[in-house]
Amino acid sequence: MAAGAAVTTWLERVRRAPSSRIARQLSACGIRPADFEVGDLSRIASLRPCDVGLDGADPVGDARLADAPAPSRLGACERGGHTILVTFSAADLERTAAFGARALAAAGIERGMRVANTLEGGLDTPGSLIVGDALERLGALDVPLGPVRDAKSARAMAELFDRTAIDVLIADDASGAALIDALHARPPRAWRGTLWLGAERRALDGRRWWRRWVSLPELSVFFAVECTRGSLHCDPDVHVEVRPTGLRFSSLSGDAPLFAYDPGIPLRVDPRRCACGDPRPCVETAEPI
DSSP string over 135-203:
HHHHTPEEEE-----SHHHHHHHHHHHHHTT--EEEE-HHHHHHHHHHHHHS--SS--EEEEEBS----
Please report, to the nearest 10 degrees, the dihedral formed by the alpha carbons of residues 104, 110, 115, 120 taken in order. 20
Question: Do residues 126 and 223 make contact, with C-beta atoms less than 8 angstroms apart?
Answer: no
What sign does the dihedral 222-180-194-132 (CA atoms) show?
A: negative
DSSP letter for 108, please.
Answer: T
What pLDDT is stored for residue 3 in this prediction? Answer: 43
> Which of 260, 217, 270, 280 shows the shortest CA–CA distance to 1?
280
pTM of the predicted model as reported, rounded to 2 decimal places? 0.94
65: left (phi over 0), alpha (psi -120 to 50) or beta: beta
Rounded to whole angstroms, the Cα distance separating 210 from 195 reads 6
Answer whether the bond into residue 279 is a cis peptide, omega within 30°: no
Rounded to whole angstroms, the Cα distance separating 175 from 195 reads 13
SS3 state at 282: strand
127-165 burial: b if 16+ Cβ within 10 Å, else e:
bbbbbbbbbebbebbbbbbebbeeeebbbebbeebbeee
Instruction: Give the burial class of 64: count Cβ atoms within 10 A of its Cβ; 0-12 exposed, 13-18 middle, 19 or more buried.
Output: buried
> What mean pLDDT is reported for the chain?
93
Tens-place pLDDT, residues 103-147: 999 999 999 999 999 999 989 999 999 999 999 999 999 999 999
Rounded to whole angstroms, the Cα distance separating 168 from 190 reads 9
Tens-place pLDDT, residues 49-88: 999 998 877 889 999 999 999 999 999 999 999 999 999 9
pLDDT at 98 over 50: yes
CB within 8 Å of 227: residues ≥ 6 apart: 106, 107, 211, 233, 274, 276, 278
Tens-place pLDDT, residues 203-242: 666 789 999 999 999 999 999 999 999 999 999 999 999 9
Domains of the chain: 92-233+267-285 (3.40.50.12780)
